[in-house]
């Protein structure tokens, strides 16, 4: 858990314009109330199983295991969820929270479009107005996802500023939020941003690791030697890793692209920055980032 | 080495004595280049502007509307960096004692190092910092350094700020309190916010400091209207828009200065 102000050691916190401070405090209060509320948890698990398609299988990749000839490889099949990615775990949790708070309008940023599609889907299910900000370059690259979001009733706003990709989409979503904060909930798509987003997003995704832990114990009668996840913003990685944090002997490896074209620009350099409303480390452009213990 | 008083406090003291309202003007540093910024700041001083807010250009200005975003882009394109902005303030100081506040995003301070930046800013002759995305909860170290340097940390109050929080902010404020009169980003608006009278009254319950009201004021009529409720008004985008229109024209500082003088006259019509 982070400290009372949302810091994880040197990281995290809440670096936002004054207009958003109180709304974020209200979101934090409501989130922790919801988290402790059995009715909310019941509603969340109902939709996770009936609408989203949980639990997902932990699948033994037999041919890959044979081919590589080392570890026994299991795949946690988040790709089988409704809309095709883990993103919907968080989008669903946050939309239920938004309804609790009486918000009538949902906004989100999206890069490739998976988070946008998930957000558009849960917004449509609950009849909430939905606006998705997406860099103009990404809109072109991922035209199919733009089509899906529109089909789901969302308005997709192509962002023309700067590099016209994810970074600018986040800025534009923040500007929308600061302008419409009374009616609008911002469904942030990964474990970043101002407190309580990182802790909230992690907790909505920890279902990945909770299931995986239970499933591997059922199948193998032991914990895995190693967990691996790809890291963009980090939401699926932290969702998988978090329930194993107190398991000594489980190594955790996050993989990210070495080429800068497919790695968000804010995460390229090996330095700390305060951007997107939190302090975060920027991982180096190496092909691998190790988290937690490896012994 | 903390000076007894700082230019912002000094200016507001004088305004109070003379029963005048103040005019704060925002411009983007380095738009179109830093020499123009220097000349424009001096022109604003001559036009009767009481405090110049210099926006330090940043790649992700998420609290800013399109007019100031474009100014920041032009500022970055002209090679403007935080140290160069400080050098420009030092150059302004050779000719003018106009109070200067830097409007800056926290990432820029964080990258240079808080202690270094605050020390250098004070040495250059900066009087206050307005760090857009640094709320008081994150600002213990910042406040200590600002106090030691004799600079005013300018805090924002927004329409969404509840009373208990106004009280906390007021307790820490120095120089003036900036009331952001709108939920939204910076930018020109057709009408002024309706929250101003209530919120300035709320702030006054907790502080004797001057209140400056900004966000959306774009002409002399609006300036007059808002000045009735506050000790000072802030005009940003309407000025920046004019800077953009005149661009590289050598007469730009005088032309924008003439508009600032109109605003100053409008504010002067409202006596304290």
Tell me the pLDDT tens digit for each residue of A141-162.
999 999 999 999 999 999 998 8
Give buried/exposed letters for B202-237 (b at 16+ CB in 10 A, else e). Answer: bbeebbebbbbbbbbbbbbebbbbbbebbbbbbbbb
Judge whether residue A13 has pLDDT over 80. yes
Active-site annotation holds for B64: yes
Judge whether residue B108 has pLDDT over 90. yes
Q: Which of B136, B135, B139 is nearest to B114 (CA)?
A: B139
Q: Is residue B112, in this structure, part of any structural domain at all?
A: yes
Mean pLDDT of A180-189: 96
Catalytic residue among B9, B31, B50, B64: B64
Q: Is residue B144, in this structure, part of any structural domain at all?
A: yes
Judge whether residue A9 has pLDDT over 90. no
Contacting residues of A for B134, CB less than 8 Å apart:
15
- B166 preceded by a cis bond (ω within 30 of 0): no
Please report the DSSP string for B208-254 in residue order.
-S-EEEESS--SHHHHHHHHTTSSEEEE-HHHHHHHHHHTT-TTHHH
Query: Which residues in A have their CB inside 8 Å of a CB on B?
Result: 5, 13-23, 161-162, 167, 170-171, 174-175, 178-182, 271-277, 279
Selected residue of B82, B112, B137 to mutate for chain A interface (largest A Cβ count, 10 A): B137
φ, ψ for residue B178, nearest 5 deg: -100, 115
Q: What percent of chain A has pLDDT over 90?
A: 78
- For residue B5, what pLDDT band results from cuts at 50, 70 and 90? confident
The pTM assigned to this predicted structure is: 0.90
Q: How many CB atoms lie within 10 A of CB B59?
A: 18
Q: Is residue B226, in this structure, part of any structural domain at all?
A: yes
The predicted structure's pLDDT at residue A290? 38
Q: Does B76 touch chain A (CB under 8 A)?
A: no
- Encode pLDDT of A240-286 as tens digits: 999 999 999 999 999 887 765 544 444 443 345 555 555 544 333 33
Q: Which of A277, A235, A294, A214 is nearest to A93 (CA)?
A: A235
Residue A225 burial (CB < 10 Å; 0-12/13-18/19+)? exposed
Q: Residues near A64 by Cβ (< 8 Å), separated by ≥ 6?
A: A73
Compute the nearest-CA separation of B19 from chain A (Å): 30
The predicted structure's pLDDT at residue B177? 98
Residue A123 burial (CB < 10 Å; 0-12/13-18/19+)? buried
- For residue A203, what pLDDT band results from cuts at 50, 70 and 90? very high
Q: Does B160 touch chain A (CB under 8 A)?
A: yes
- B235 preceded by a cis bond (ω within 30 of 0): no
- Encode pLDDT of B224-271 as tens digits: 999 999 999 999 999 999 999 998 999 999 999 999 999 999 999 997
* A to B CB pairs, distance under 8 Å: 87
Q: Is residue B22, in this structure, part of any structural domain at all?
A: yes
Q: Report the residue from A174, A182, A279 with minimal CB separation from B62.
A: A174
Judge whether residue A56 has pLDDT over 70. yes
Mean pLDDT for chain B overall: 94
**Domains: count for chain B:** 1
- For residue A38, what pLDDT band results from cuts at 50, 70 and 90? very high
For tokens 């250009």, what's the residue?
B57
Selected residue of B173, B183, B195 to mutate for chain A interface (largest A Cβ count, 10 A): B183
The predicted structure's pLDDT at residue B1? 44
| Domain limits for position B54 | 7-268
Q: Residues near A86 by Cβ (< 8 Å), separated by ≥ 6?
A: A78, A205, A208, A235, A236, A239
Q: Does B173 touch chain A (CB under 8 A)?
A: no
Q: Is residue B1, in this structure, part of any structural domain at all?
A: no
Active-site annotation holds for B254: no
CB A187 within 8 A of CB A177: no
Mean pLDDT for chain A overall: 89
The predicted structure's pLDDT at residue A270? 38
The predicted structure's pLDDT at residue A286? 33
Contacting residues of A for B61, CB less than 8 Å apart:
171
- For residue B205, what pLDDT band results from cuts at 50, 70 and 90? very high
- Encode pLDDT of B110-150 as tens digits: 999 999 999 999 999 999 999 999 999 999 999 999 999 99
- Encode pLDDT of A76-121 as tens digits: 999 999 999 999 999 999 999 999 999 999 999 999 999 999 999 9
Q: Which of B241, B180, B242, B189 is nearest to B217 (CA)?
A: B189
Q: Is residue B237, in this structure, part of any structural domain at all?
A: yes
Mean pLDDT of A61-73: 96
The domain that contains B29 carries what CATH number? Answer: 3.20.20.70
Contact A277 B137 (CB under 8 A): no
Using DSSP bridges, classify how beta strands A251-255 and A288-291 pair: parallel, antiparallel or unpaired.
Answer: antiparallel
Q: Does B185 touch chain A (CB under 8 A)?
A: yes
Q: Does B134 touch chain A (CB under 8 A)?
A: yes
Q: Report the residue from A17, A20, A162 with minimal CB separation from B59.
A: A162
The predicted structure's pLDDT at residue B142? 97
Q: Residues near B107 by Cβ (< 8 Å), separated by ≥ 6?
A: A273, A274, A275, B58, B60
Q: Is residue B171, in this structure, part of any structural domain at all?
A: yes
* Dihedral sign for Cα atoms in the order A129, A130, A136, A141: negative
Q: Is residue B2, in this structure, part of any structural domain at all?
A: no
């Amino acid at each position: 858990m982070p400290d009372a102000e949302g810091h994880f050691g040197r990281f995290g916190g809440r670096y936002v314009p004054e207009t958003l401070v109180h709304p974020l405090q209200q979101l934090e209060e409501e989130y922790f109330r919801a988290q402790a509320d059995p009715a909310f948890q019941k509603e969340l698990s109902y939709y996770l199983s009936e609408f989203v398609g949980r639990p997902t299988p932990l699948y033994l990749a037999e041919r890959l295991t044979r081919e590589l000839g080392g570890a026994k490889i299991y795949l946690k099949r988040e790709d089988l969820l409704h809309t095709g990615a883990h993103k919907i775990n968080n989008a669903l949790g946050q939309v239920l929270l938004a309804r609790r708070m009486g918000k009538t309008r949902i906004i989100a940023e999206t890069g490739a479009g998976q988070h946008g599609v998930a957000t558009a889907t849960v917004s449509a299910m609950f009849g909430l107005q939905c606006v998705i900000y997406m860099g103009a370059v990404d809109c072109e690259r991922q035209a199919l996802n733009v089509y899906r979001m529109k089909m789901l009733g969302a308005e997709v706003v192509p962002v023309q500023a700067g590099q016209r990709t994810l970074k600018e989409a986040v800025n534009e979503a923040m500007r929308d939020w600061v302008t419409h904060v009374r009616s609008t909930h911002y469904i942030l798509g990964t474990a970043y941003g101002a407190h309580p987003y990182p802790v909230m997003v992690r907790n909505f995704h920890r279902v990945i690791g909770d299931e995986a832990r239970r499933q591997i114990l059922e199948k193998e009668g032991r914990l895995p030697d190693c967990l691996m996840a790809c890291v963009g913003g980090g939401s699926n990685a932290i969702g998988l890793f978090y329930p194993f944090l107190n398991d000594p002997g489980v190594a955790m490896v996050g993989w990210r692209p070495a080429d800068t074209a497919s790695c968000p620009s804010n995460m390229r350099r090996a330095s700390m920055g305060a951007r997107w409303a939190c302090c975060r480390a920027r991982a180096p452009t190496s092909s691998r980032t190790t988290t937690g213990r490896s012994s | 080495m903390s000076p007894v008083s700082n230019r912002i406090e000094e200016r507001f003291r004088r305004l109070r004595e003379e029963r005048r309202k103040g005019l704060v003007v925002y411009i983007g540093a380095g738009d179109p280049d830093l020499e123009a910024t220097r000349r424009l700041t001096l022109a604003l001083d001559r036009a009767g502007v009481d405090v110049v807010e210099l926006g330090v250009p940043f790649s992700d200005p998420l609290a800013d509307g399109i007019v100031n975003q474009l100014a920041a882009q032009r500022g970055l394109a002209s090679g403007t960096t935080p140290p160069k902005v400080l050098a420009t303030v030092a150059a302004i100081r050779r000719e003018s004692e106009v109070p200067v506040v830097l409007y800056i995003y926290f990432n820029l301070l964080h990258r240079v190092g808080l202690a270094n930046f605050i020390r250098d800013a004070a040495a250059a002759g900066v009087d206050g910092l307005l760090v857009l995305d640094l709320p008081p909860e994150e600002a213990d170290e910042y406040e200590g350094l600002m106090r030691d340097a004799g600079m005013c940390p300018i805090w924002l109050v927004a329409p969404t700020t509840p009373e208990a929080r106004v009280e906390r902010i007021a307790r820490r404020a120095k120089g003036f309190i900036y009331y952001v009169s709108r939920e939204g980003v910076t930018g020109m608006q057709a009408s002024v916010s309706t929250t101003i009278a209530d919120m300035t009254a709320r702030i006054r319950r907790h502080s004797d400091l001057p209140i400056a009201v900004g966000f959306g004021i774009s002409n002399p009529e609006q300036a007059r209207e808002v000045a009735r409720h506050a000790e000072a008004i802030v005009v940003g985008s309407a000025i920046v828009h004019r800077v953009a229109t005149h661009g590289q024209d050598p007469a730009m500082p005088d032309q924008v200065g003439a508009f600032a003088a109109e605003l100053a006259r409008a504010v002067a019509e409202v006596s304290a």
